[in-house]
């Protein structure tokens, strides 16, 4: 799964003030199971398209519910076809795609069972869905929650976790077995999976992501940008985070689930 591309530096160049995004996306890209991608390909919930552009995909289809995201994706030169669409009602004919990828999106989707049925409908028989979602470590290892539990303020930690998930619109933080049940009901069978981010690296990623939801951090980050040039900010984040990217590898347990499911209908 690893190649010679330095995805960390690519993301750091484009997002020098978003450390959690840089770490999480670069680790996902470094370990992405590209062997299961066969055209025609759909990028489900494609966002601005930067992930697939960095992965090196070309001439694929993309859809997203956000008109602004589709406008940004058009500039990437990755997509031959882009549509504004709710994943619960995809604007494609049956059996349109051999591969569908959905990176860090299913956990945000309302009525995920309907969305997965739509995925199954537009996926060819024997085709693959590749999806990445947070594991239960998000709930069990959330750094602020763990800290306040350690000092006897577990209820406050639970509140912080609730507020974080609400701001990040995490609707489904499920176990592998729970995802397997949902996928099976849609006619999709998991036949390959692994995890990313050991506990220490996931704590760093989650802590950085949690900070971005705090107003005080965003104020401090603006000040950080004023006093330190871009090269200095990149050097700072590189010194803190790149080691986690370089040591990333597929795991049996970790903070993020990577699931490959086959359409058996």
Task: For residue range 129-152, list pLDDT tens digits in order.
Answer: 999 999 999 999 899 999 999 999
Residue boundaries of the structural domains of the chain: 1-30+212-247
Residue 1's pLDDT band (boundaries 50, 70, 90)? low
What is the C-alpha separation between 132 and 2, in angstroms, rounded? 17
Q: Where is average pLDDT lowest: 24-33, 179-188, 219-228, 250-259?
A: 219-228
pLDDT score of 11 more than 60: yes
What average pLDDT does the chain have? 94
pLDDT at 113: 97
Residue 29's pLDDT band (boundaries 50, 70, 90)? very high
The residue among 192, 156, 162, 225 whose CA lies nearest residue 34 is 192
Q: 154-163 long-range contacts, Cβ below 8 Å, gap at least 24?
A: 160/210, 163/213
What is the value of pTM for the model shown?
0.94
Task: For residue range 41-66, list pLDDT tens digits in order.
Answer: 999 999 999 999 999 999 999 999 99
Residue 228's pLDDT band (boundaries 50, 70, 90)? confident
């Amino acid at each position: 799964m690893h190649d010679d591309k330095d995805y960390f530096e690519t993301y750091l160049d484009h997002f020098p003030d978003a450390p959690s995004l840089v770490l999480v996306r670069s680790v996902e890209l470094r370990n992405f199971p590209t062997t299961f991608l066969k055209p025609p390909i759909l990028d489900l919930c494609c966002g601005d398209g930067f992930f697939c552009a960095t992965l090196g995909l070309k001439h694929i289809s993309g859809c997203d519910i956000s008109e602004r995201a589709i406008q940004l994706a058009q500039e990437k030169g990755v997509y031959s076809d882009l549509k504004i669409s709710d994943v619960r009602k995809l604007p494609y004919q049956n059996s349109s795609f051999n591969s569908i990828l959905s990176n860090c999106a299913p956990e945000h989707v309302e009525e995920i069972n309907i969305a997965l049925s739509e995925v199954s409908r537009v996926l060819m028989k024997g085709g693959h869905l590749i999806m990445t979602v947070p594991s239960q470590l998000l709930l069990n290892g959330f750094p602020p929650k763990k800290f306040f539990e350690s000092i006897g303020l577990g209820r406050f930690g639970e509140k912080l976790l609730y507020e974080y998930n609400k701001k990040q619109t995490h609707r489904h933080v499920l176990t592998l077995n729970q995802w397997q049940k949902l996928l099976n009901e849609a006619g999709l069978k998991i036949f390959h999976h692994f995890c990313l981010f050991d506990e220490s690296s996931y704590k760093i990623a989650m802590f950085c992501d949690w900070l971005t939801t705090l107003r005080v951090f965003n104020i401090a980050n603006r000040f950080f940008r004023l006093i330190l040039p871009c090269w200095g900010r990149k050097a700072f984040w590189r010194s803190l985070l790149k080691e986690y990217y370089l040591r990333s590898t597929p795991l049996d347990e970790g903070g993020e689930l990577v699931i490959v499911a086959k359409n058996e209908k």
